[in-house]
Structure 1
Amino acid sequence: MSLFDKLFGSHRQGDAPESRLPAERHAAVGASDAAHRAAQMLRAPTALMQLAEHEALAVVGFMRPRVFKRGTEIIRQGETADTGFMVLVLEGEITVESLMASRVNAATVKVLGPGSLIGEMALVDGAARSASCTASTEVKCAVLTRESLEALTTEQPATAAKLMTAVAQRLAERLRESSHKLQVYSKLVDTLQEEVDRLMPTPQGKHRS
């Protein structure tokens, strides 16, 4: 039996975890080896490694099961109406693509597997999705909705605060990576321009900045 089936086998996909009694939820995840494994995935370097084990386990208790067939577009770049969820991949792979202004076709950014997290940025700020995510295989995952996040905040505010802090740190790391890439790109452009100027000097002997 798969991790997904062990974790969610007793719940229908339409069940809302925030509707369960806290004692029922705590007992269900506390006694489940599969829930502990899912919590470990949530704490992986590809997800929210800043969470403590008990905090990740509490978050898992508020997640819903979802299965996406191969080829399903889970998140669409530019989407603004359906931004209230993030996804923890338990089984399968997801292709992340981004449509750049200078390109006609979307470029594959990365392929994500079990333990990966997607959609956390829009869950925080509600802004448009920054990339498209498509199931490249059948994907089984755990979803945290904004409603569940609000319920977690009410029931366990300290855990919810730690979750949001971990998400913020993850987003900050992405921004630093993007900034570094832009710096490398800028240096590459300058180097190429210098080489062009050397091979094809302008009358002034230098290019315009």
Structure 2
Amino acid sequence: MLSDEVETLREVPIFASIEPAKLKLLAFACDRMIYRQGQDICRQGDQGDAAYVLLSGMADVIVSSSAGEVKVAAIGANAIVGEMAVLCNIPRTATVRATSRLEVLRISKDHFLALTSEFPQVATEIMRTLAARLSETTAELANARISFTTR
């Protein structure tokens, strides 16, 4: 099991440059968790106490709005979620809900922050990931505004 988790972590872009021995320590420190379809991994507004790496299965990223819940993304194996709340020490910005049986590695806030301190390349990859998400969100917002104003 531990070797499977190390291999999975190596496939997550932000962990790809970490040596296998360090990934083994990280995998050992993580909690392997299973969620059933419909179960929330984390909820919008909760404190960010951990990040999660999806090992298998699918989940939706959902944001609550005045119009109700809005699905903003679907994610699967090798995705990482919850890192923004951990890094920025802010409440979670979205709910992540399993859409199938889901296996995850839960990385506690302390372990995640230690990892970013020890391996600056991890912090760089996280910044790239967050910047890509922001770019996508900005483009979607611009398209939504254009659609709204042309009605």
Give TM-score, length-normalised by structure 2.
0.81
Q: Structure 1: how far apart are the matches of 2:141 and 2:88?
A: 24
1:63 and 2:30 correspond: yes
Map of 1:98 onto structure 2: 63
Q: Deviations over 1:34-81 (max 9, x none)?
A: 2442123322xxxx37x415278364454221222333211111223x
Map of 1:166 onto structure 2: 125
Q: Structure 1: how far apart are the matches of 2:149 and 2:52?
A: 40
1:190 and 2:132 correspond: no
Q: Structure 1: how far apart are the matches of 2:145 and 2:83?
A: 29
Q: Structure 1: how far apart are the matches of 2:140 and 2:33?
A: 34
Q: Structure 2: how far apart are the matches of 1:78 and 1:189?
A: 28
**1:165 offset after TM fit, Å?**
2.2
Letter in structure 2 aligned against 1:172 = A
Identity rate of aligned residues, in percent? Answer: 21
Please identify the structure whose Cα radius of gyration is greater. 1
Unaligned runs of 5+ in 1: 1-5, 8-31, 193-209
Map of 1:41 onto structure 2: 11
Relative to total residues, which structure has the larger strand share, 1 or 2?
A: 2
1:87 and 2:52 correspond: yes
Higher relative CO (Cα under 8 Å, sequence separation at least 6) belongs to 2
Q: Secondary structure at the match of 1:130?
A: coil
Match of 2:72 among 109, 120, 123: 109
Q: Structure 1: how far apart are the matches of 2:6 and 2:63?
A: 33
**1:86 offset after TM fit, Å?**
0.6
User: Quick check: 2:52–2:104 contact (8 Å CA) kept in 1?
Assistant: yes
4+ residue segments displaced more than 3 Å? 58-62, 150-153
User: Quick check: 1:86–1:123 contact (8 Å CA) kept in 2?
Assistant: yes
Letter in structure 2 aligned against 1:131 = A
1:180 and 2:139 correspond: yes
Give the direction of change, closer, same or farther, for the CA distance of 1:188–1:150 in structure 2 (3 Å limit): closer
Q: Structure 2: how far apart are the matches of 1:186 and 1:69?
A: 36
Unaligned runs of 5+ in 2: none
Give the direction of change, closer, same or farther, for the CA distance of 1:181–1:69 in structure 2 (3 Å limit): closer
